[in-house]
Amino acid sequence: MSVRVYVPLTSTSLAALVADGRLDGPLRAHAVTDALRAEWPEGDDEGWEYAALMAAGGTSAGLRGSGDLPRRFVLAADVPSVVPVPGDDPTLVDVAADVPWKNVASAHVDTSDWGPEGPDEDAELAWFATQEIRDLL
């Protein structure tokens, strides 16, 4: 059984994924964890997945370097297993395995560049199928 993770990226790391056909592990990501379920017991699978996705979006914003596009980039992928990371974020996990292109499910990206005030952390991320990912760069 695999685990769906949401990997925060930048435009540079997304370009590397496209060029290399993989993300090298280990890496840090976000996922639905037992801690998230315990913290939000009235949630459901869809809500928990959304929480993990948006947490990854927040992390992505913090990763942006000067050469990156001013957008949040999150990759949804399936991995063999994760290890929860203790701390304040119940969605944070470590992934030991590489993420090959065949395990990528989709990308979630801001549809426009941020303004001078930075990203709107509450703005929805648009969904892109794997065949559309190359066009995001």
What is the pLDDT tens value at each position of the chain, 137 positions in all?
899 999 999 999 999 999 999 999 999 999 999 999 999 999 999 999 999 999 999 999 999 999 999 999 999 999 999 999 999 999 999 999 999 999 999 999 999 999 888 888 889 999 999 999 999 98
What's 55's domain CATH number? 3.20.170
pLDDT digits (tens, 9 = 90+) for 22-46: 999 999 999 999 999 999 999 999 9
CA 79, 60, 22, 95 dihedral sign is negative
pTM for the model: 0.96
Domain count, the chain: 1
Name residues whose C-beta falls within 8 Å of residue 22's C-beta, 6 or more positions apart in sequence.
98, 99, 100, 101
Give residue 96's domain range: 3-136
* Cα distance between residue 110 and residue 133, in whole Å: 13
